[in-house]
Amino acid sequence: MDETAGAAARAAELRGLIEYHSRRYYDLDDPEISDAEFDGLVRDLRALEEAHPDLVTPDSPTQKVGGSVSTAFSEVRHRMPMMSLDNAFSFDELVAWGKRMERYIDGDVDFVCELKIDGIAISLLYEDGRYVRAATRGNGVVGEDVTDNVRTIAVVPDRLSVPPDRTPAVLEVRGEIYMPLSAFEDLNERRGQAGERLFANPRNSAAGSLRQKDPRVTASRELAFFAYQLGEITGDGAPRFRRHSETLEFLTEAGLPVNPEIRRVTTMHDVDGFCRHWLEHRHSLDYEIDGAVVKVDDLAQRMELGATSKSPRWAIAYKFPAEQATTLLKDVMVSIGRTGKATPFAMLEPVQVSGSTVQLATLHNEDQVAKKDVRPGDTVFVRKAGDVIPEVVGPVLSKRPADLAEWLFPETCPVCGEPLVRVEGESDTFCTNVECPAQRAGRIGHFAGRGAMDIEGLGEKRVMQLIDAGLLHDPADLYSLTYGDLIALEGFADLSVRNLLAAIEASKGRPLANLLIGLSIRHLGGRGAEVLAGAMGHLDRIVAATEDELAAVEGVGPTIAHSVAEFFALDTNVAMVDRLRQAGLNFEGAVGGEPELPRTLGGKALVVTGTLESMSRDAAADAIKARGGTSPGSVSRKTAWLVAGAEPGAAKVAKAAEYGVPVIDEPTFLRVLETGQP
Ligand code: IVH
């Protein structure tokens, strides 16, 4: 095949792919590829057409607006076509666009910077101030009539709040219908419980909710709307405008919701600043944005610039790098933690998400895997919200190979081969073999870690190395390590051996509560350990106490009491305590009621979200208060830190980003409790 024929074949292929994926996205609300992958196809086609202009056809997807009109709704012909926007995928492309504008236009160009709301474009029509019609973009010329559905959206006014003498006879306004993140999470939670298919993201969720035959379904879905563009406006009293920014002010006065983050700027430098700011802070919002839209403010300048067949020249969308991608789920594996908890995780074909490569993602527990219905061999959506942990959203069902087997939780521990047991009434599964090497490594690592015995220089890697060398079986073995043992190991030199031995020695004097934390007793976190140490005063008394005696301690619930009693009922654990005693560890705690803790948090507010490993959320709140801090239920500007455990609440994380509140993980939180500093 010669080069031209090859290019023609590729262009035809790209057009086919774009049309297929466009239909899945716009019409079926069920995409198979991520937005970034879709944009990539369009970009490839555009590059090809630029290199071979004779290949451009009038119906090429580069020449028209995506989306079509479903027969489920009646058609609405737009009074003015609803165009889409050209994209810039980098700051350089954005600045190049701005420079072009400034060259075309005599005089200064002012810009309006807006957020690119990730929802569904809509046109609303008001006649004599009354809401009469709403239409989707459809193919840009003809859209779908969704009047009754949009009427159910609380923020869409039924009447404009404009004085009668200034009320336009016709006002057409364009904007975006979206679903706030909090509403999206609630909806998916409910759908999950009802065994219904989950929506992949808020955009699909908004689209699915809007395009319902029954407006009552739409009404139940908490949709919202932002107006961003005035369409037609007629009537004797109707105001006349010179600038886009004036139209937005008018729309606001008329009672239409206009996004509060919109900024009018006078230089490309400020445009760039706006885009960079939102690239960094996008997760502070309770709705998803996929970029920024930059528009020329002066309406006369807009006329001068005009439009191509598809998009105006006076506006551009700066698109953020992808946060969602699709990739192959190669396998689901299970990792064993220090308490024996078996956590399933996804092994993914490496994929770029938000600028980093993702190949592992936790799946939390058996129920989560079932709820998401992801199976090895599936193509899955992977997303990453800001710096937060990558997440497998769900499978692309249309790509699932036939007869793909469901993933079943393994019955035996992948490390020691002993049975895995799911505790009744809980979602977690455990390896119950306390001798399991994976648990052992986890326990020793935890014992040496921050918040427990804090042995500097003994990280996870070294623990594994010492276990492999046969030097460590349990935490007590740390205290019989010798210079000779360590110097013989790879990676150790005279100084590092001395430092490690000194750090181990120093740990002997740590408070009893730290020692208790270090023992990895299930459910016993920092607060519980402190209460127990304070109330019982000595490790031997805790070892000897019955479950009832433990439960009688103020601040120790039946769960902790049971688990502590169970721990010390095991001979191996009692023997380990004896060896710790012989090594000279401190077993004594401050006696008498509530231990006086250092007021490390004096007045600071810490909000806790998600599941912490070492303590319940209530225990975390108690631990904060015991150190002079407060633990309110929601994030505000006054919050000092947001503590995020597993599966943190997205709304809280978003608020924290909005207010610039630092988000800290559990180990950092334990450090903050102890020292007041992250
Ligand atoms: S202006 C002709 N402003 O992005 C200009 N669009 O392809 C019309 N969008 O279809 C669009 N936020 O669905 C504009 N602040 C904003 C927007 C916005 C989101 C969507 C809209 C449009 C698509 C661009």
* Annotated catalytic residue 655: no
| 85 CA distance to ligand 1 middle (Å) | 7
Contact (CB, 8 A) for 505 and 577: no
Residue 386: pLDDT band (50, 70, 90) is low
Q: Is the CB of 116 under 6 A from ligand 1?
A: yes
Here the tokens at position 138 are 């459809």
Alpha carbon nearest to ligand 1 atom 10, residue: 84
Atom of ligand 1 minimally distant from the CA of 259 = 15
Element counts in the chain: helices (H) and strands (E): 24, 21
Cα separation, 35 vs 326, in Å, equals: 10
Q: Is the CB of 85 under 6 A from ligand 1?
A: yes
**pLDDT over 70 at 385, yes or no:** no
What confidence tens digit (pLDDT) does each residue in 315-358 have? 999 998 877 889 999 999 999 988 899 999 999 999 988 767 88
Chain mean pLDDT for the chain: 89
Q: Is the CB of 114 under 6 A from ligand 1?
A: yes
| 248 CA distance to ligand 1 middle (Å) | 14
Residue-level pLDDT at 236: 87
**pLDDT over 60 at 591, yes or no:** no
3-state secondary structure of 513: helix
pTM > 0.85: no
| 258 CA distance to ligand 1 middle (Å) | 13
Residue-level pLDDT at 69: 57
What is the enclosing helix (H) or strand (E) of 276?
helix 268-281
What confidence tens digit (pLDDT) does each residue in 531-582 have? 899 889 999 999 999 999 999 988 888 888 999 999 999 999 999 999 999 9
3-state secondary structure of 441: helix
Cα separation, 378 vs 388, in Å, equals: 23
Q: Is the CB of 312 under 6 A from ligand 1?
A: yes
Contact (CB, 8 A) for 629 and 606: yes
| 9 CA distance to ligand 1 middle (Å) | 32
The tokens 């013989």 sit on which residue?
Answer: 488
Q: Is 350 left (phi over 0), alpha (psi -120 to 50) or beta?
A: beta
